[in-house]
Structure 1
Protein backbone atom coordinates (compact mmCIF):
# COMPACT_ATOMS: atom_id res chain seq x y z
CA UNK A 1 0.00 0.00 0.00
CA UNK A 2 1.39 3.41 -0.95
CA UNK A 3 2.01 6.38 1.28
CA UNK A 4 -0.93 8.29 -0.17
CA UNK A 5 -3.31 5.39 0.38
CA UNK A 6 -2.20 5.04 4.03
CA UNK A 7 -2.76 8.74 4.64
CA UNK A 8 -6.21 8.55 3.05
CA UNK A 9 -7.08 5.52 5.17
CA UNK A 10 -5.95 7.23 8.38
CA UNK A 11 -7.99 10.32 7.56
CA UNK A 12 -11.02 8.15 6.89
CA UNK A 13 -10.62 6.30 10.19
CA UNK A 14 -10.09 9.56 12.07
CA UNK A 15 -13.24 10.97 10.53
CA UNK A 16 -15.16 7.87 11.56
CA UNK A 17 -14.20 8.00 15.25
CA UNK A 18 -14.83 11.74 15.34
CA UNK A 19 -18.32 11.00 14.07
CA UNK A 20 -18.79 8.61 16.99
CA UNK A 21 -18.34 11.45 19.47
CA UNK A 22 -21.45 12.44 21.48
CA UNK A 23 -23.93 14.54 19.57
CA UNK A 24 -25.18 17.72 21.16
CA UNK A 25 -28.48 17.50 22.98
CA UNK A 26 -31.58 18.52 21.13
CA UNK A 27 -32.69 21.77 22.66
CA UNK A 28 -36.29 21.27 21.52
CA UNK A 29 -36.67 17.82 23.09
CA UNK A 30 -38.64 17.90 26.36
CA UNK A 31 -37.86 21.53 27.10
CA UNK A 32 -40.14 21.48 30.15
CA UNK A 33 -38.03 18.69 31.70
CA UNK A 34 -34.72 20.48 31.20
CA UNK A 35 -32.77 21.65 34.23
CA UNK A 36 -33.30 24.00 36.00
CA UNK A 37 -36.85 24.85 34.87
CA UNK A 38 -38.65 22.34 37.09
CA UNK A 39 -36.45 23.14 40.10
CA UNK A 40 -36.98 26.88 39.62
CA UNK A 41 -40.76 26.42 39.34
CA UNK A 42 -40.86 24.42 42.57
CA UNK A 43 -38.66 26.99 44.31
CA UNK A 44 -40.99 29.78 43.20
CA UNK A 45 -44.15 27.98 44.35
CA UNK A 46 -42.66 26.98 47.70
CA UNK A 47 -41.17 30.44 48.24
CA UNK A 48 -44.55 32.08 47.62
CA UNK A 49 -46.25 29.55 49.94
CA UNK A 50 -43.74 30.13 52.76
CA UNK A 51 -44.09 33.91 52.40
CA UNK A 52 -47.91 33.75 52.36
CA UNK A 53 -48.06 31.55 55.48
CA UNK A 54 -45.59 33.86 57.25
CA UNK A 55 -47.75 36.93 56.58
CA UNK A 56 -50.84 35.03 57.77
CA UNK A 57 -48.94 34.32 60.99
CA UNK A 58 -47.98 37.96 61.31
CA UNK A 59 -51.66 38.92 60.94
CA UNK A 60 -52.46 36.94 64.10
CA UNK A 61 -50.34 39.18 66.32
CA UNK A 62 -47.82 41.98 65.68
CA UNK A 63 -45.84 40.68 68.66
CA UNK A 64 -44.47 37.74 66.68
CA UNK A 65 -40.75 38.01 65.98
CA UNK A 66 -39.05 37.77 62.58
CA UNK A 67 -37.75 34.27 63.32
CA UNK A 68 -41.34 33.18 64.03
CA UNK A 69 -42.65 34.55 60.71
CA UNK A 70 -40.00 33.51 58.15
CA UNK A 71 -41.26 35.55 55.18
CA UNK A 72 -37.62 36.41 54.50
CA UNK A 73 -36.88 32.74 53.70
CA UNK A 74 -39.65 32.63 51.11
CA UNK A 75 -38.55 35.89 49.48
CA UNK A 76 -34.97 34.62 49.18
CA UNK A 77 -36.18 31.42 47.49
CA UNK A 78 -38.26 33.46 45.05
CA UNK A 79 -35.11 35.36 44.07
CA UNK A 80 -33.22 32.09 43.64
CA UNK A 81 -35.99 30.78 41.37
CA UNK A 82 -35.78 33.92 39.21
CA UNK A 83 -32.07 33.26 38.76
CA UNK A 84 -32.95 29.68 37.81
CA UNK A 85 -35.26 30.96 35.07
CA UNK A 86 -32.43 33.19 33.80
CA UNK A 87 -30.11 30.17 33.78
CA UNK A 88 -32.69 28.19 31.81
CA UNK A 89 -32.88 30.93 29.17
CA UNK A 90 -29.10 30.85 28.68
CA UNK A 91 -27.97 28.21 26.20
CA UNK A 92 -26.40 25.51 28.34
CA UNK A 93 -22.89 24.39 27.45
CA UNK A 94 -21.17 21.81 29.64
CA UNK A 95 -17.69 23.12 28.76
CA UNK A 96 -18.67 26.63 29.94
CA UNK A 97 -17.38 28.54 26.95
CA UNK A 98 -19.57 31.48 27.93
CA UNK A 99 -18.37 33.54 30.90
CA UNK A 100 -21.94 34.74 31.49
CA UNK A 101 -23.19 31.15 31.69
CA UNK A 102 -20.42 30.22 34.12
CA UNK A 103 -21.15 33.20 36.40
CA UNK A 104 -24.91 32.54 36.46
CA UNK A 105 -24.40 28.82 37.14
CA UNK A 106 -21.93 29.54 39.93
CA UNK A 107 -24.27 32.12 41.47
CA UNK A 108 -27.22 29.75 41.22
CA UNK A 109 -25.19 26.99 42.89
CA UNK A 110 -24.18 29.30 45.76
CA UNK A 111 -27.72 30.65 46.25
CA UNK A 112 -29.21 27.15 46.22
CA UNK A 113 -26.74 26.20 48.93
CA UNK A 114 -27.70 29.29 50.95
CA UNK A 115 -31.39 28.48 50.41
CA UNK A 116 -30.79 24.97 51.73
CA UNK A 117 -29.11 26.31 54.89
CA UNK A 118 -31.86 28.91 55.41
CA UNK A 119 -34.61 26.31 55.03
CA UNK A 120 -32.96 24.07 57.62
CA UNK A 121 -32.62 27.07 59.94
CA UNK A 122 -36.32 27.95 59.53
CA UNK A 123 -37.27 24.34 60.26
CA UNK A 124 -35.26 24.48 63.49
CA UNK A 125 -36.98 27.72 64.59
CA UNK A 126 -40.44 26.48 63.56
CA UNK A 127 -39.93 23.14 65.33
CA UNK A 128 -38.86 24.90 68.54
CA UNK A 129 -41.83 27.29 68.48
CA UNK A 130 -44.22 24.46 67.58
CA UNK A 131 -43.21 22.45 70.64
CA UNK A 132 -43.41 25.63 72.72
CA UNK A 133 -46.88 26.76 71.64
CA UNK A 134 -48.20 23.20 71.96
CA UNK A 135 -47.37 23.35 75.68
CA UNK A 136 -48.75 26.85 76.33
CA UNK A 137 -51.32 27.63 79.00
CA UNK A 138 -52.87 30.94 77.99
CA UNK A 139 -55.15 33.50 79.62
CA UNK A 140 -56.88 36.45 78.06
CA UNK A 141 -55.76 39.81 79.43
CA UNK A 142 -57.56 42.67 77.70
CA UNK A 143 -56.31 43.01 74.12
CA UNK A 144 -53.47 40.56 74.73
CA UNK A 145 -53.11 36.85 75.28
CA UNK A 146 -50.66 35.96 78.06
CA UNK A 147 -49.14 32.48 77.83
CA UNK A 148 -46.89 30.43 80.09
CA UNK A 149 -45.29 27.04 79.73
CA UNK A 150 -46.24 26.20 83.32
CA UNK A 151 -49.02 28.10 85.09
CA UNK A 152 -47.95 26.74 88.49
CA UNK A 153 -44.43 28.12 88.19
CA UNK A 154 -44.40 31.74 89.47
CA UNK A 155 -41.10 32.55 87.75
CA UNK A 156 -41.91 30.85 84.45
CA UNK A 157 -41.28 32.91 81.35
CA UNK A 158 -44.34 34.79 80.12
CA UNK A 159 -45.23 35.31 76.46
CA UNK A 160 -47.61 38.19 75.67
CA UNK A 161 -49.25 38.32 72.25
CA UNK A 162 -50.78 41.71 71.52
CA UNK A 163 -53.86 42.18 69.36
CA UNK A 164 -55.26 38.70 70.05
CA UNK A 165 -58.92 38.53 71.08
CA UNK A 166 -59.03 34.75 71.55
CA UNK A 167 -56.21 32.66 73.02
CA UNK A 168 -57.39 29.68 70.95
CA UNK A 169 -55.74 31.39 67.99
CA UNK A 170 -52.35 31.04 69.69
CA UNK A 171 -52.70 27.47 70.92
CA UNK A 172 -54.51 26.26 67.80
CA UNK A 173 -54.08 28.29 64.62
CA UNK A 174 -50.54 29.53 65.30
CA UNK A 175 -49.41 26.00 66.18
CA UNK A 176 -50.85 24.74 62.90
CA UNK A 177 -48.98 27.46 60.99
CA UNK A 178 -45.70 26.44 62.64
CA UNK A 179 -46.30 22.84 61.57
CA UNK A 180 -47.08 24.02 58.04
CA UNK A 181 -43.84 26.02 57.96
CA UNK A 182 -41.90 22.89 58.93
CA UNK A 183 -43.44 20.93 56.04
CA UNK A 184 -43.00 23.71 53.46
CA UNK A 185 -39.39 24.41 54.42
CA UNK A 186 -38.58 20.70 54.41
CA UNK A 187 -39.82 20.53 50.82
CA UNK A 188 -37.93 23.73 50.06
CA UNK A 189 -34.71 22.27 51.48
CA UNK A 190 -35.10 19.10 49.39
CA UNK A 191 -35.63 21.11 46.19
CA UNK A 192 -32.55 23.25 46.92
CA UNK A 193 -30.55 20.10 47.64
CA UNK A 194 -31.60 18.68 44.25
CA UNK A 195 -30.52 21.93 42.57
CA UNK A 196 -27.12 21.84 44.30
CA UNK A 197 -26.61 18.16 43.41
CA UNK A 198 -27.54 18.56 39.74
CA UNK A 199 -25.28 21.61 39.36
CA UNK A 200 -22.39 19.75 40.98
CA UNK A 201 -22.98 16.65 38.85
CA UNK A 202 -23.11 18.63 35.60
CA UNK A 203 -19.92 20.47 36.50
CA UNK A 204 -17.77 17.60 37.82
CA UNK A 205 -19.18 14.29 36.55
CA UNK A 206 -20.68 14.63 33.08
CA UNK A 207 -18.08 15.71 30.54
CA UNK A 208 -15.94 14.09 27.83
CA UNK A 209 -12.21 13.86 28.28
CA UNK A 210 -11.51 13.75 24.54
CA UNK A 211 -9.25 10.69 25.00
CA UNK A 212 -9.80 7.52 23.02
CA UNK A 213 -9.60 4.32 25.08
CA UNK A 214 -8.55 1.03 23.49
CA UNK A 215 -7.59 0.28 19.91
CA UNK A 216 -8.56 2.56 17.02
CA UNK A 217 -11.02 -0.06 15.83
CA UNK A 218 -13.14 0.32 18.98
CA UNK A 219 -13.82 4.02 18.31
CA UNK A 220 -15.04 4.60 21.89
CA UNK A 221 -14.75 7.75 23.95
CA UNK A 222 -14.33 7.78 27.68
CA UNK A 223 -17.12 9.47 29.61
CA UNK A 224 -16.49 10.35 33.25
Structure 2
Protein backbone atom coordinates (compact mmCIF):
# COMPACT_ATOMS: atom_id res chain seq x y z
CA UNK A 1 0.00 0.00 0.00
CA UNK A 2 2.84 2.38 0.81
CA UNK A 3 4.48 1.80 -2.56
CA UNK A 4 1.49 2.87 -4.72
CA UNK A 5 1.87 5.57 -7.32
CA UNK A 6 -0.24 8.71 -7.10
CA UNK A 7 -2.44 9.41 -10.15
CA UNK A 8 -1.59 13.09 -9.87
CA UNK A 9 2.10 12.30 -9.93
CA UNK A 10 1.69 10.09 -12.99
CA UNK A 11 -0.27 12.74 -14.86
CA UNK A 12 2.24 15.39 -13.88
CA UNK A 13 5.08 13.25 -15.14
CA UNK A 14 3.27 12.69 -18.44
CA UNK A 15 2.69 16.40 -18.92
CA UNK A 16 6.30 17.15 -18.11
CA UNK A 17 7.45 14.59 -20.67
CA UNK A 18 5.12 16.04 -23.31
CA UNK A 19 6.32 19.57 -22.60
CA UNK A 20 9.91 18.41 -22.83
CA UNK A 21 9.21 16.72 -26.16
CA UNK A 22 7.55 19.85 -27.56
CA UNK A 23 10.44 21.96 -26.35
CA UNK A 24 12.91 19.62 -27.99
CA UNK A 25 10.99 19.74 -31.26
CA UNK A 26 10.94 23.51 -31.16
CA UNK A 27 14.69 23.72 -30.55
CA UNK A 28 15.62 21.28 -33.29
CA UNK A 29 13.34 22.92 -35.82
CA UNK A 30 11.13 19.85 -36.27
CA UNK A 31 7.35 19.98 -36.61
CA UNK A 32 7.19 23.53 -35.24
CA UNK A 33 9.44 24.87 -38.00
CA UNK A 34 7.72 22.75 -40.63
CA UNK A 35 4.33 24.13 -39.58
CA UNK A 36 5.63 27.70 -39.74
CA UNK A 37 6.83 27.15 -43.29
CA UNK A 38 3.38 26.17 -44.53
CA UNK A 39 0.64 28.41 -45.85
CA UNK A 40 -2.80 27.00 -46.77
CA UNK A 41 -1.37 23.48 -46.55
CA UNK A 42 1.50 24.21 -48.94
CA UNK A 43 5.05 25.03 -48.02
CA UNK A 44 5.84 28.68 -48.68
CA UNK A 45 6.29 30.00 -51.31
CA UNK A 46 5.01 27.16 -53.52
CA UNK A 47 1.40 28.33 -53.76
CA UNK A 48 2.34 31.98 -54.29
CA UNK A 49 4.97 31.14 -56.91
CA UNK A 50 2.55 28.85 -58.74
CA UNK A 51 -0.09 31.58 -58.92
CA UNK A 52 2.52 34.07 -60.09
CA UNK A 53 3.60 31.70 -62.85
CA UNK A 54 0.05 31.11 -64.08
CA UNK A 55 -0.86 34.80 -63.97
CA UNK A 56 2.39 35.79 -65.69
CA UNK A 57 1.72 33.34 -68.52
CA UNK A 58 -1.86 34.59 -68.83
CA UNK A 59 -0.82 38.26 -68.95
CA UNK A 60 1.85 37.58 -71.58
CA UNK A 61 -0.52 35.44 -73.67
CA UNK A 62 -3.26 38.08 -73.69
CA UNK A 63 -0.69 40.75 -74.59
CA UNK A 64 0.54 38.75 -77.58
CA UNK A 65 -3.06 38.25 -78.68
CA UNK A 66 -3.50 42.02 -78.58
CA UNK A 67 -0.49 42.46 -80.88
CA UNK A 68 -2.22 40.30 -83.50
CA UNK A 69 -5.00 42.89 -83.77
CA UNK A 70 -2.65 45.65 -84.87
CA UNK A 71 1.11 46.07 -85.00
CA UNK A 72 0.67 49.76 -84.16
CA UNK A 73 -0.14 49.08 -80.52
CA UNK A 74 2.42 50.50 -78.10
CA UNK A 75 4.33 48.48 -75.52
CA UNK A 76 2.31 50.05 -72.71
CA UNK A 77 -0.87 48.81 -74.41
CA UNK A 78 0.41 45.25 -74.70
CA UNK A 79 2.09 44.55 -71.34
CA UNK A 80 3.77 41.27 -72.23
CA UNK A 81 6.80 42.58 -70.33
CA UNK A 82 4.77 42.54 -67.11
CA UNK A 83 3.93 38.88 -67.64
CA UNK A 84 7.55 37.96 -68.39
CA UNK A 85 8.75 39.75 -65.26
CA UNK A 86 6.17 37.88 -63.20
CA UNK A 87 7.35 34.56 -64.64
CA UNK A 88 10.89 35.44 -63.51
CA UNK A 89 9.56 36.26 -60.03
CA UNK A 90 7.81 32.88 -59.87
CA UNK A 91 10.99 31.05 -60.90
CA UNK A 92 12.86 32.70 -58.03
CA UNK A 93 10.04 31.56 -55.74
CA UNK A 94 10.36 27.97 -56.97
CA UNK A 95 14.13 28.06 -56.39
CA UNK A 96 13.51 29.39 -52.89
CA UNK A 97 11.05 26.56 -52.27
CA UNK A 98 13.49 23.90 -53.46
CA UNK A 99 16.38 25.08 -51.27
CA UNK A 100 16.76 22.96 -48.16
CA UNK A 101 17.24 24.90 -44.95
CA UNK A 102 20.70 23.81 -43.94
CA UNK A 103 22.86 25.47 -41.28
CA UNK A 104 25.74 27.81 -41.92
CA UNK A 105 26.91 26.61 -45.34
CA UNK A 106 24.04 28.07 -47.39
CA UNK A 107 22.86 30.73 -44.95
CA UNK A 108 24.05 33.65 -47.06
CA UNK A 109 22.61 32.17 -50.27
CA UNK A 110 19.24 31.59 -48.61
CA UNK A 111 19.18 35.11 -47.23
CA UNK A 112 20.04 36.63 -50.62
CA UNK A 113 17.33 34.58 -52.36
CA UNK A 114 14.70 35.57 -49.81
CA UNK A 115 15.70 39.21 -50.05
CA UNK A 116 15.64 39.00 -53.86
CA UNK A 117 12.22 37.35 -53.84
CA UNK A 118 10.85 40.01 -51.50
CA UNK A 119 12.24 42.75 -53.74
CA UNK A 120 10.84 41.12 -56.90
CA UNK A 121 7.41 40.69 -55.30
CA UNK A 122 7.42 44.37 -54.40
CA UNK A 123 8.53 45.32 -57.90
CA UNK A 124 5.87 43.05 -59.39
CA UNK A 125 3.24 44.80 -57.28
CA UNK A 126 4.34 48.23 -58.53
CA UNK A 127 4.51 47.06 -62.16
CA UNK A 128 1.03 45.54 -61.95
CA UNK A 129 -0.40 48.79 -60.59
CA UNK A 130 1.28 50.74 -63.42
CA UNK A 131 -0.14 48.32 -66.00
CA UNK A 132 -3.62 48.67 -64.51
CA UNK A 133 -3.36 52.46 -64.80
CA UNK A 134 -2.31 52.26 -68.47
CA UNK A 135 -5.01 49.73 -69.31
CA UNK A 136 -7.69 51.85 -67.63
CA UNK A 137 -6.62 54.88 -69.65
CA UNK A 138 -6.66 53.03 -72.97
CA UNK A 139 -9.94 51.30 -72.10
CA UNK A 140 -11.66 54.65 -71.59
CA UNK A 141 -9.96 56.03 -74.69
CA UNK A 142 -11.02 53.23 -77.05
CA UNK A 143 -14.60 53.37 -75.77
CA UNK A 144 -14.72 56.99 -76.96
CA UNK A 145 -13.38 56.24 -80.43
CA UNK A 146 -15.15 57.02 -83.66
CA UNK A 147 -13.40 54.92 -86.31
CA UNK A 148 -13.51 54.50 -90.06
CA UNK A 149 -11.72 52.09 -92.34
CA UNK A 150 -9.14 53.42 -94.77
CA UNK A 151 -7.70 50.60 -96.81
CA UNK A 152 -5.45 48.42 -94.66
CA UNK A 153 -5.60 50.60 -91.60
CA UNK A 154 -8.20 52.02 -89.27
CA UNK A 155 -8.36 55.72 -88.42
CA UNK A 156 -9.95 56.65 -85.10
CA UNK A 157 -10.67 60.00 -83.51
CA UNK A 158 -12.35 61.18 -80.34
CA UNK A 159 -14.44 63.86 -82.05
CA UNK A 160 -15.21 63.27 -85.73
CA UNK A 161 -16.64 66.79 -86.10
CA UNK A 162 -13.43 68.45 -84.94
CA UNK A 163 -11.02 68.81 -87.90
CA UNK A 164 -7.99 69.25 -85.64
CA UNK A 165 -8.85 66.47 -83.21
CA UNK A 166 -6.15 63.93 -82.47
CA UNK A 167 -6.24 60.94 -84.78
CA UNK A 168 -5.16 57.41 -83.86
CA UNK A 169 -4.13 55.16 -86.74
CA UNK A 170 -3.98 51.38 -86.44
CA UNK A 171 -2.24 49.60 -89.29
CA UNK A 172 -3.03 46.08 -90.40
CA UNK A 173 -6.69 46.40 -89.39
CA UNK A 174 -9.33 45.71 -92.02
CA UNK A 175 -12.26 45.76 -89.63
CA UNK A 176 -12.53 48.65 -87.17
CA UNK A 177 -14.80 46.60 -84.92
CA UNK A 178 -11.64 44.91 -83.64
CA UNK A 179 -10.52 48.28 -82.29
CA UNK A 180 -13.78 49.49 -80.79
CA UNK A 181 -15.02 46.16 -79.39
CA UNK A 182 -12.32 43.46 -79.18
CA UNK A 183 -9.47 45.68 -78.00
CA UNK A 184 -11.39 47.16 -75.02
CA UNK A 185 -12.26 43.62 -73.96
CA UNK A 186 -8.56 42.77 -73.88
CA UNK A 187 -7.85 45.93 -71.90
CA UNK A 188 -10.46 44.92 -69.35
CA UNK A 189 -9.04 41.41 -69.14
CA UNK A 190 -5.56 42.81 -68.58
CA UNK A 191 -6.87 44.95 -65.74
CA UNK A 192 -8.38 41.91 -64.02
CA UNK A 193 -5.28 39.75 -64.50
CA UNK A 194 -2.90 42.44 -63.30
CA UNK A 195 -5.11 43.16 -60.30
CA UNK A 196 -4.91 39.48 -59.34
CA UNK A 197 -1.18 39.60 -60.01
CA UNK A 198 -0.76 42.60 -57.73
CA UNK A 199 -2.72 40.89 -54.95
CA UNK A 200 -0.61 37.73 -55.20
CA UNK A 201 2.62 39.76 -55.08
CA UNK A 202 1.33 41.67 -52.07
CA UNK A 203 0.44 38.42 -50.30
CA UNK A 204 3.86 36.95 -51.09
CA UNK A 205 5.72 39.98 -49.76
CA UNK A 206 3.46 40.16 -46.71
CA UNK A 207 3.93 36.49 -45.82
CA UNK A 208 7.67 36.78 -46.29
CA UNK A 209 7.72 39.71 -43.89
CA UNK A 210 5.12 38.51 -41.38
CA UNK A 211 6.43 35.00 -40.85
CA UNK A 212 10.04 36.22 -40.91
CA UNK A 213 11.18 34.00 -43.74
CA UNK A 214 14.10 36.34 -44.17
CA UNK A 215 15.56 34.89 -40.94
CA UNK A 216 18.47 32.59 -41.75
CA UNK A 217 20.65 30.17 -39.86
CA UNK A 218 23.62 31.86 -38.25
CA UNK A 219 25.29 28.61 -37.27
CA UNK A 220 24.81 28.88 -33.50
CA UNK A 221 25.06 25.43 -32.01
CA UNK A 222 23.12 24.38 -28.92
CA UNK A 223 23.56 21.15 -27.07
CA UNK A 224 26.22 18.56 -27.74
CA UNK A 225 28.25 18.65 -30.97
CA UNK A 226 27.09 15.15 -31.87
CA UNK A 227 23.42 16.14 -31.80
CA UNK A 228 24.01 18.90 -34.38
CA UNK A 229 21.18 21.03 -33.05
CA UNK A 230 21.11 24.46 -34.65
CA UNK A 231 19.21 27.50 -33.56
CA UNK A 232 17.72 30.27 -35.70
CA UNK A 233 18.50 33.89 -34.87
TM-score by length of 1: 0.78
1:182 to 176, 180, 191: 191
Residue correspondence of structure 1 range 24-173 to structure 2 within 5 A: 24-26=29-31, 27=34, 33-92=42-101, 98-173=107-182
**CA-to-partner distance for each residue in 1:68-100, whole Å, 9 max, x for gaps?**
000000000000000000000112479997111
Whether 1:20 and 2:23 are equivalent positions in the alignment is yes
Asked if structure 2 preserves the Cα contact closer than 8 Å seen for 1:139 and 1:145, the reply is yes
Shift of 1:153: 1.4
The count of aligned residue pairs is 193
Shift of 1:20: 2.6
**CA-to-partner distance for each residue in 1:160-184, whole Å, 9 max, x for gaps?**
0000010000001101000000000
| Runs of at least 5 residues in structure 2 that lack an aligned partner in the other structure | 1-15, 217-233
Q: Secondary structure at the match of 2:154?
A: strand
Shift of 1:206: 9.0
Change in Cα spacing, 1:95 to 1:120, as seen in structure 2 (3 Å) is farther
Asked if structure 2 preserves the Cα contact closer than 8 Å seen for 1:49 and 1:74, the reply is yes
Asked if structure 1 preserves the Cα contact closer than 8 Å seen for 2:38 and 2:44, the reply is no
Shift of 1:201: 1.0
Distance 2:78 2:103 in 1: 40
Give the superposed CA RMSD: 2.9
Asked if structure 2 preserves the Cα contact closer than 8 Å seen for 1:47 and 1:73, the reply is yes
TM-score by length of 2: 0.75
Residue in structure 2 matched with residue 214 of structure 1 by the alignment? none
Distance 1:70 1:183 in 2: 13
Asked if structure 2 preserves the Cα contact closer than 8 Å seen for 1:94 and 1:202, the reply is no
Shift of 1:204: 8.2
Q: Secondary structure at the match of 1:66?
A: coil
Asked if structure 2 preserves the Cα contact closer than 8 Å seen for 1:43 and 1:191, the reply is yes
Asked if structure 2 preserves the Cα contact closer than 8 Å seen for 1:112 and 1:195, the reply is yes
